[in-house]
Amino acid sequence: MEEIAHGLLESQKTFLWVIRTSYSGERLEEKLSCKDELEKQGMIVPWCSQMRVLSHPCVGCFVTHCGWNSSLESMVVGVPVVAVPLWNDQATNAKFIQDVWKIGVRAIANDGGVFEAYEIKRCIELVMDGGQIGEEMRINAKKWQGMAREAAKDGGPSNMNLRTFVNELGDGVTKTTI
Protein backbone atom coordinates (compact mmCIF):
# COMPACT_ATOMS: atom_id res chain seq x y z
CA MET A 1 0.00 0.00 0.00
CA GLU A 2 2.92 2.30 0.73
CA GLU A 3 4.24 1.83 -2.82
CA ILE A 4 0.85 2.68 -4.33
CA ALA A 5 0.75 5.80 -2.15
CA HIS A 6 4.14 6.95 -3.39
CA GLY A 7 3.22 6.11 -6.99
CA LEU A 8 0.13 8.30 -6.69
CA LEU A 9 2.16 11.14 -5.21
CA GLU A 10 4.85 10.89 -7.88
CA SER A 11 2.23 10.92 -10.64
CA GLN A 12 1.16 14.39 -9.45
CA LYS A 13 -2.43 13.55 -10.42
CA THR A 14 -5.43 14.20 -8.23
CA PHE A 15 -7.13 11.01 -7.09
CA LEU A 16 -9.83 9.34 -5.05
CA TRP A 17 -8.47 6.28 -3.25
CA VAL A 18 -10.77 3.84 -1.50
CA ILE A 19 -8.98 2.12 1.37
CA ARG A 20 -11.42 -0.09 3.21
CA THR A 21 -11.35 -0.29 6.97
CA SER A 22 -9.81 -3.59 8.09
CA TYR A 23 -11.96 -6.35 9.57
CA SER A 24 -10.67 -5.34 13.00
CA GLY A 25 -11.89 -1.78 12.39
CA GLU A 26 -8.42 -0.33 11.79
CA ARG A 27 -8.10 2.59 9.37
CA LEU A 28 -5.20 1.33 7.24
CA GLU A 29 -4.46 4.72 5.66
CA GLU A 30 -3.36 5.93 9.09
CA LYS A 31 -0.25 3.73 8.72
CA LEU A 32 0.89 5.42 5.49
CA SER A 33 4.10 7.40 5.96
CA CYS A 34 2.95 10.03 3.46
CA LYS A 35 -0.71 10.37 4.53
CA ASP A 36 -0.55 14.17 4.92
CA GLU A 37 0.93 14.67 1.45
CA LEU A 38 -1.64 12.29 -0.04
CA GLU A 39 -4.51 14.27 1.48
CA LYS A 40 -3.18 17.47 -0.11
CA GLN A 41 -3.17 15.86 -3.56
CA GLY A 42 -6.25 13.66 -3.37
CA MET A 43 -8.90 12.12 -1.19
CA ILE A 44 -8.88 8.85 0.76
CA VAL A 45 -12.23 7.34 1.74
CA PRO A 46 -13.28 4.01 3.30
CA TRP A 47 -16.04 3.42 0.74
CA CYS A 48 -17.67 4.93 -2.34
CA SER A 49 -20.20 4.01 -4.99
CA GLN A 50 -17.75 2.79 -7.60
CA MET A 51 -20.15 3.18 -10.53
CA ARG A 52 -21.07 6.73 -9.53
CA VAL A 53 -17.42 7.70 -9.30
CA LEU A 54 -16.40 5.95 -12.53
CA SER A 55 -19.32 7.61 -14.34
CA HIS A 56 -18.09 11.10 -13.46
CA PRO A 57 -16.61 12.88 -16.50
CA CYS A 58 -13.54 14.02 -14.51
CA VAL A 59 -12.27 10.46 -14.00
CA GLY A 60 -9.23 9.94 -16.23
CA CYS A 61 -8.34 6.38 -15.29
CA PHE A 62 -9.18 3.61 -12.86
CA VAL A 63 -6.41 1.89 -10.91
CA THR A 64 -7.96 -1.47 -10.10
CA HIS A 65 -7.17 -4.98 -8.90
CA CYS A 66 -9.15 -6.18 -11.95
CA GLY A 67 -11.90 -8.15 -10.30
CA TRP A 68 -14.51 -9.08 -12.89
CA ASN A 69 -17.10 -6.55 -11.69
CA SER A 70 -14.55 -3.72 -11.61
CA SER A 71 -13.31 -4.67 -15.07
CA LEU A 72 -16.83 -4.64 -16.51
CA GLU A 73 -17.76 -1.42 -14.73
CA SER A 74 -14.77 0.40 -16.19
CA MET A 75 -15.74 -0.89 -19.62
CA VAL A 76 -19.40 0.11 -19.29
CA VAL A 77 -18.45 3.70 -18.41
CA GLY A 78 -15.57 3.94 -20.89
CA VAL A 79 -12.76 4.63 -18.42
CA PRO A 80 -9.23 3.40 -19.21
CA VAL A 81 -7.55 1.17 -16.65
CA VAL A 82 -4.30 0.72 -14.77
CA ALA A 83 -4.47 -3.00 -14.02
CA VAL A 84 -2.91 -4.13 -10.73
CA PRO A 85 -3.95 -7.79 -10.48
CA LEU A 86 -3.28 -9.57 -7.20
CA TRP A 87 -4.58 -13.12 -7.58
CA ASN A 88 -6.99 -15.59 -9.18
CA ASP A 89 -8.98 -14.35 -12.20
CA GLN A 90 -7.55 -10.85 -11.87
CA ALA A 91 -4.45 -11.70 -13.95
CA THR A 92 -6.65 -13.03 -16.76
CA ASN A 93 -8.84 -9.94 -16.62
CA ALA A 94 -5.72 -7.72 -16.70
CA LYS A 95 -4.48 -9.57 -19.78
CA PHE A 96 -7.79 -8.90 -21.54
CA ILE A 97 -7.73 -5.25 -20.45
CA GLN A 98 -4.27 -4.71 -21.92
CA ASP A 99 -3.92 -7.16 -24.80
CA VAL A 100 -7.42 -7.89 -26.08
CA TRP A 101 -9.67 -4.92 -25.32
CA LYS A 102 -6.69 -2.52 -25.27
CA ILE A 103 -8.36 -0.25 -22.71
CA GLY A 104 -5.51 -0.09 -20.23
CA VAL A 105 -2.06 -1.09 -19.13
CA ARG A 106 -1.02 -3.82 -16.72
CA ALA A 107 1.39 -2.87 -13.94
CA ILE A 108 4.24 -5.32 -13.49
CA ALA A 109 5.08 -6.51 -9.97
CA ASN A 110 8.67 -7.04 -8.86
CA ASP A 111 10.03 -10.50 -8.01
CA GLY A 112 8.53 -10.20 -4.53
CA GLY A 113 5.06 -9.53 -5.95
CA VAL A 114 5.10 -5.83 -5.02
CA PHE A 115 3.92 -3.14 -7.42
CA GLU A 116 6.57 -0.48 -6.86
CA ALA A 117 5.90 3.25 -6.83
CA TYR A 118 7.73 3.95 -10.09
CA GLU A 119 5.64 1.27 -11.85
CA ILE A 120 2.35 2.71 -10.56
CA LYS A 121 3.51 6.17 -11.67
CA ARG A 122 4.62 4.85 -15.09
CA CYS A 123 1.25 3.23 -15.72
CA ILE A 124 -0.79 6.24 -14.59
CA GLU A 125 1.29 8.50 -16.82
CA LEU A 126 0.95 6.13 -19.77
CA VAL A 127 -2.84 6.11 -19.48
CA MET A 128 -3.27 9.80 -18.65
CA ASP A 129 -0.41 11.46 -20.54
CA GLY A 130 0.85 8.72 -22.83
CA GLY A 131 0.42 10.53 -26.12
CA GLN A 132 -0.82 8.23 -28.87
CA ILE A 133 -0.79 5.13 -26.65
CA GLY A 134 -2.94 6.80 -23.98
CA GLU A 135 -5.24 8.23 -26.64
CA GLU A 136 -5.72 4.77 -28.18
CA MET A 137 -6.68 3.40 -24.76
CA ARG A 138 -9.26 6.16 -24.30
CA ILE A 139 -10.66 5.59 -27.81
CA ASN A 140 -10.88 1.84 -27.20
CA ALA A 141 -12.50 2.39 -23.80
CA LYS A 142 -15.21 4.50 -25.46
CA LYS A 143 -15.63 1.91 -28.24
CA TRP A 144 -16.16 -0.90 -25.71
CA GLN A 145 -18.48 1.36 -23.72
CA GLY A 146 -20.71 1.69 -26.78
CA MET A 147 -20.67 -2.05 -27.47
CA ALA A 148 -21.47 -2.88 -23.84
CA ARG A 149 -24.40 -0.48 -23.79
CA GLU A 150 -25.74 -1.84 -27.08
CA ALA A 151 -25.51 -5.40 -25.75
CA ALA A 152 -27.49 -4.46 -22.64
CA LYS A 153 -30.29 -2.67 -24.52
CA ASP A 154 -33.67 -4.34 -24.89
CA GLY A 155 -33.19 -7.05 -27.51
CA GLY A 156 -29.39 -6.93 -27.27
CA PRO A 157 -27.44 -10.16 -26.68
CA SER A 158 -26.73 -9.54 -22.99
CA ASN A 159 -30.33 -8.55 -22.39
CA MET A 160 -31.60 -11.64 -24.21
CA ASN A 161 -29.21 -13.96 -22.34
CA LEU A 162 -30.35 -12.54 -19.01
CA ARG A 163 -34.01 -12.96 -19.98
CA THR A 164 -33.38 -16.56 -21.05
CA PHE A 165 -31.57 -17.30 -17.80
CA VAL A 166 -34.37 -15.80 -15.68
CA ASN A 167 -37.04 -17.65 -17.67
CA GLU A 168 -35.19 -20.96 -17.35
CA LEU A 169 -34.60 -20.35 -13.67
CA GLY A 170 -38.28 -19.54 -13.25
CA ASP A 171 -39.29 -22.72 -15.10
CA GLY A 172 -37.03 -24.76 -12.84
CA VAL A 173 -38.52 -23.19 -9.74
CA THR A 174 -42.12 -23.82 -10.80
CA LYS A 175 -41.34 -27.45 -11.72
CA THR A 176 -39.50 -28.19 -8.50
CA THR A 177 -41.44 -29.88 -5.75
CA ILE A 178 -40.53 -29.68 -2.13
**Containing domain of residue 170, as a range?**
49-175
* Number of folded domains that form the chain: 1
User: Model pTM?
Assistant: 0.88
Question: Are 106 and 95 contacting, i.e. CB atoms less than 8 angstroms apart?
Answer: yes
CATH of the domain at 68: 3.40.50.2000
Cα separation, 178 vs 118, whole angstroms: 59
**Residue 6 placed within a domain:** no
**Residue 77 placed within a domain:** yes
Angle at 20 between CA 92 and CA 134, to 5 degrees: 45
pLDDT in tens, the chain (178 residues): 999 999 999 999 999 999 998 888 889 888 899 999 999 999 999 999 999 999 999 999 999 999 999 999 999 999 999 999 999 999 999 999 999 999 999 999 999 999 999 999 999 999 999 899 999 999 999 999 999 999 999 999 998 999 898 888 887 665 554 4
Tell me what pLDDT residue 178 has.
Answer: 45
